[in-house]
């Protein structure tokens, strides 16, 4: 099923990307191409193949439960647009 203009607008909104009207056809074509590629994969027979969650055959490395991080708030907040009382300030999210 080809990607519609609505699909592009919706995905862009979910990803918080600003896409102009003029750019929509370009994204439609690009996403269609990606889905065509995935459609080719669908043609392979995978009935007896276990799905994998990661391209490498490795398992998750675990670390011991120890506090190893120091407070670096001042350093991190140097690049924040607005801070107050140690809090990051952002535009109001709930009315």
Partner 1 sequence: MEWECVIGLEVHVQLKTKSKIFSGASTAFGADANTQACGVDIGLPGVLPVMNREAVLMAARFGLAIDGAINELSVFARKNYFYPDLPKGYQISQFEIPVVEGGQLEIETPNGPRTIRITRAHLEEDAGKSLHEDFHGLTGIDLNRAGTPLLEVVSEPDLRSPEEAVAYLKKLHTLVRTLKICDGNMQEGSFRCDANVSVRPKGEAQLGTRAELKNINSFRFVERAIYFEIDRQIGVIEDGGSVVQETRLYDPDKDLTRSMRGKEEAHDYRYFPDPDLPPLVITKKELDAIRSEMPELPDAKLTRLASSYELSNDDATLLAADSDLADFFEAAVKAANGESRLIANWILGDLSSALNRESLSISESPVSPEMLGQLINRIKDNTISGKIAKQVFGDLWHGKGQVDDIIRDQGLTQITDTDAISKAVDDVITAFPSQVDQVRAGEEKVIGFLVGQVMKATSGKANPQAVNNLIKTKLSS
φ, ψ of residue 7 in degrees (nearest 5): -60, -45
73 makes contact with partner 1 (CB under 8 A)? yes
Of 18, 38, 60, 78, the residue at the interface with partner 1 (CB under 8 A) is 60
H or E element in which residue 84 lies: strand 83-84
Q: Does 58 interact with partner 1 (rule: CB under 8 A)?
A: yes
Provide the mask over 27-56, with x wherever binding to partner 1 is found by CB under 8 A and - wherever it is not: --------------------------xx-x
Q: Is 34 helix (H, G, I), strand (E, B) or coil?
A: helix
What separation in angstroms does the CA of 65 have from each of 40, 60, 72?
45, 15, 20
Segment lying near partner 1 (by CB under 8 A), choices 17-25, 29-37, 41-49, 79-87: 79-87
- By the rule CB under 8 A, 93 interacts with partner 1: yes
φ/ψ bin of 85: left (φ > 0), alpha (ψ from -120 to 50), beta (otherwise): left
Q: Which residues bind partner 1 (CB under 8 A)?
A: 14, 16, 53-54, 56, 58-69, 71-73, 76-77, 82, 84-95
């Amino acid at each position: 099923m080809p990607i519609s203009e609505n699909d592009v607008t919706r995905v862009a909104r979910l990803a918080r990307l600003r896409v102009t009207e003029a750019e929509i056809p370009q994204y439609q074509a690009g996403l269609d191409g990606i889905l065509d590629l995935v459609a080719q994969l669908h043609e392979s027979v995978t009935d007896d193949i276990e799905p994998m969650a990661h391209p490498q055959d490795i398992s998750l490395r675990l670390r011991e439960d120890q506090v190893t991080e120091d407070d670096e708030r001042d350093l991190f907040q140097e690049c924040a647009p607005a801070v107050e009382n140690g809090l990051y300030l952002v535009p109001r999210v709930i009315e």
